[in-house]
């Protein structure tokens, strides 16, 4: 299966990210609304960031299981993601049935994940996808979207 990885680097003149997870989700919109999401890591700032991060930690290694609408609501409580890992599986996936390989981001090309959104050190968002449409959606919304070579990302 083909894997597409893009990095989004839109920044303000002060070299701060000009967007956050809520903006990435808005760009992806209709193409991902039916997926089952798991927020597996979250370090962020904003009025609801501490509560959101606590929910994610309490969920354990499988992550906080959310629908697209629930993920949008969580993202709305965050002003800036410092580090985050949001993965998605096909609709109807029960996170409790996932194998260790299905939970491993390094196995993305061969596992059941279909999308991953990563905030990296408040400086870039990386999006992994098995659907080429995702890359087009992001390029239509953001100014600095770079296609990455997936080879060094995986085992």
| pLDDT value for 31 | 87
64-96 residue pLDDT tens: 999 999 999 999 999 999 999 999 999 999 999
Please say whether the beta carbons of 50 and 74 come within 8 A: no
Residue 49 tokens read as 């960031």
Asked if the model's pLDDT at residue 155 lies above 80, the reply is no
Residue 155, in any domain of the structure? no
For the chain, the domain total comes to 1
Domain assignment present for 87? yes
- pLDDT category of residue 1 using cuts at 50, 70 and 90: low
Residue 107, domain member (yes or no): yes
Residue-number span of the structural domain to which 35 is assigned: 4-150
pLDDT recorded at residue 16: 84
Q: According to the model, what pLDDT value does residue 124 have?
A: 96
**Number of Cα atoms under 13 Å in the Cβ half of residue 136:** 6
What are 37's strand-pairing partners? 66, 88
pLDDT score at 56: 96
Residue reference for tokens 């659907």: 131
């Amino acid at each position: 299966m083909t894997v597409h990885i893009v990095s989004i680097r839109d920044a303000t003149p002060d070299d701060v990210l000009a967007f956050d997870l809520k903006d990435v989700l808005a760009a992806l919109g209709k193409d991902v609304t039916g997926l089952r999401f798991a927020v597996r890591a979250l370090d962020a700032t904003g009025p609801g960031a501490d509560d959101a991060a606590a929910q994610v930690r309490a969920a354990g290694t499988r992550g906080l299981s959310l629908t697209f609408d629930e993920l949008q609501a969580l993202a709305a409580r965050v002003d800036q993601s410092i580090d985050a890992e949001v993965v998605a599986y096909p609709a109807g996936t029960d996170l409790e049935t996932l194998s260790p390989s299905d939970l491993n981001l390094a196995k993305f090309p061969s596992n059941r994940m279909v999308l991953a959104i990563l905030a990296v050190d408040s400086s870039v968002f990386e999006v992994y996808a098995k659907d080429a449409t995702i890359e087009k959606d992001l390029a239509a919304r953001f100014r600095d979207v770079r296609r990455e070579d997936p080879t060094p990302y995986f085992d």
